Amino acid sequence: MQKNELVIGHNNFKYRVKKDWAEFTPEQYPVNDCHEMVMSKNGLLYLLTNETRNNVLVYSKDGIVKASWGKTYPGAHGLTLSDENGEEFLYITDTVRHQVIKTNLEGKELMILDYPQEISLYTSANEYKPTETAIASNGDIYVTDGYGLQFVIQYDARGNYIRHWGGKGDGIDQFNCVHGITVDNRNAEPSLLITSRNHNVLKRFSMSGEYLNTISLPGSFNCRPVINGKNVYSAVFRSEHNKNLRSGYITIIDENDRVVSSPGGTEPVYINSVLQPQKQEGSTFIHPHDVCVDKDENLYIPQWDSDKTYPLMLERI
């Protein structure tokens, strides 16, 4: 380890911070808010930014831009990678276009989901601002309307409406900023892990929308859950309170729903099995918005409203 390298994290999840990992080329490949990042089977990293000169930057693992595409996603926010019968696709949520767009890895648009007119509470597209998608093994598409009416909407693989649930509220099956979603296949029965960001929790639902349980993460305004192996990773874009600007860290949750490490944040402490409130420690991050995990368990972190910074890397020790 070099003398000035910063190490962050707790327990067996510690990382060297590589702030200069990505190629900095704002003249050729500008970014605005760097929202989310995924890795394809061939090891390439796909970064989504709401900069319409190149909405998607494709990186190698050593941080070199290999390709770029996309000029029509002004509200580019959520990016999900789906393996469908051996072929990979991307799902982009756009909060300005009020749409979900399915593309191939080269950016060709294959399907567009408009606002859910099947739900009578939506009277116009402006009320629909989708933030994330998750794709089930049968092809069903789950969309979180995180900046709109706060519903989770389920479609089949062809984009036909199936059902919706949630909505804004403080009930156990409701949300306050239903920002992120993922399919959890770690157990015999798959389920959905869904963010209620302003409640500082992840909520678990069945694949048909039945509430199951809540993971409390006090102090952590989580963006979306990302599952790798036995663990859940999530970017905490703000900590302590929702007006705490330029804060945030990463949180890692084990298979028992316990936080085991918070790189860039305070150490997770449980008293009588209750996680104590956490907050940022140090200044590694400015509004981290997502976590991408590679096969070596290194982390790649895009950041929102961070002075147009490029993603940083956390190298697993």
d(CA 278, CA 269): 9
Look at residue 1 in the predicted model and tell me its pLDDT: 47
d(CA 138, CA 161): 15
Q: Where are the domains of the chain?
A: 7-316
- What is the SS3 assignment for the chain? CCCCCCEEEECCEEEEEECCCCCCCCCCCCCCCEEEEEECCCCCEEEEECCCCCCEEEECCCCCEEEEECCCCCCEEEEEEEEECCEEEEEEEECCCCEEEEECCCCCEEEEECCCCCCCCCCCHHHCCCCEEEECCCCCEEEECCCCCCEEEEECCCCCEEEEEECECCCCCCECCCCCEEEECCCCCCEEEEEEHHHCEEEEECCCCCEEEEEECCCEEEEEEEEECCEEEEEEEEECCCCCCCCCEEEEECCCCCEEECCCECCCCEECCEECCCCECCCCCCCECCCEECCCCCEEECECCCCCCCCEEEEEC
Condensed to tens digits (0 to 9), the pLDDT of residues 186-202 reads: 999 999 999 999 999 99
112 neighbors 125 (Cβ within 8 angstroms):
no
Q: What is the CATH number of domain 7-316?
A: 2.120.10.30
**pLDDT beneath 50: ranges in the chain:** 1
Look at residue 4 in the predicted model and tell me its pLDDT: 72
Look at residue 2 in the predicted model and tell me its pLDDT: 53
Look at residue 5 in the predicted model and tell me its pLDDT: 85
d(CA 263, CA 316): 11
pTM: predicted TM-score of the whole model, two decimal places = 0.97
Residue 47: alpha-carbon gap to chain centroid? 12
